[in-house]
Amino acid sequence: MNSFVLEAPQPVFLAADRYVTIKVYSAISGFTVKAIQRKIENGVWVERREFVRAPDGHIFIDREGVQQWLTRGV
């Protein structure tokens, strides 16, 4: 009788960068992509404070900036 011992795979922990795409921020924050886009479009989140634009125009959310926004209660 063959006996195989299956070991559970080791968990992998990833730390997100300070600046993440809207899609990644949606996954880690609970905000929908649409909610994030609306906060940017309506000026609730300000460029270079809660988000930045890469040289190619892509938007990246500044996780530290959004944390400060949350604690300001704005």
Q: Is residue 66 part of a domain?
A: yes
CA distance linking residue 63 with residue 17, whole number of Å: 8
In a domain, 46, yes or no: yes
pLDDT at 46: 98
Q: What is the pLDDT of residues 51-68, one digit of tens each?
A: 999 999 999 999 999 999
Domain span including residue 39: 23-72
Question: pLDDT tens-digit profile of 13-47?
Answer: 777 799 999 999 999 999 999 999 999 999 999 99
* pTM as predicted: 0.78
Q: Is residue 7 part of a domain?
A: no
In a domain, residue 15? The reply is no
pLDDT above 60: residue 74: no
What is the total count of domains within the chain? 1
b/e for 51-65, b at 16 or more Cβ within 10 A?
A: beeeeeeebbbbbeb
**In a domain? residue 44:** yes
CA gyration radius, the chain: 18
Element (H, E) at 27: helix 22-29
Collapsing DSSP to helix, strand or coil, 39 comes out as: helix
